[in-house]
Amino acid sequence: MPLPLAPLAGVAIRYGAIALVAYGVKRALRPGRVDQRAEDALDDMDEGLGLHRPADRGQTNTAARFRRVFRFGETAIEIDAAALGRLRIRRI
């Protein structure tokens, strides 16, 4: 009995395209580094969302932190997400 190749070819093309995109993204990313000062700043943030505009700098700063523990029976997962942002618009 012959094997139908048309459905398999569609799946192979789809997964091949996904693999090609993943390979391209991996090559485009640069290796990161860990800055302990930034890690300490993110750990010291309060939970919630903050926005302030220092009068002497002409910029807007934001800070956000989300920290939750999810329990599934005897398994627990902690999610701790923190972000700092700055928007500065200057006329030069």
36-52: pLDDT as tens digits: 998 999 899 889 999 98
Structural domains in the chain (count): 1
Better-scored residue on pLDDT, 70 or 87: 70
- For residues 67 and 45, is the Cβ–Cβ distance under 8 A? no
pLDDT at 22 (0 to 100): 94
Q: Where are the alpha helices (DSSP H) in 1-92?
A: 5-28, 36-43
Q: Is the pLDDT reported for residue 24 higher than 90?
A: yes
Dist CA 61 CA 84 (whole Å):
8
Range of the structural domain that residue 59 is part of: 5-88
Dist CA 80 CA 47 (whole Å):
10
pLDDT at 67 (0 to 100): 93
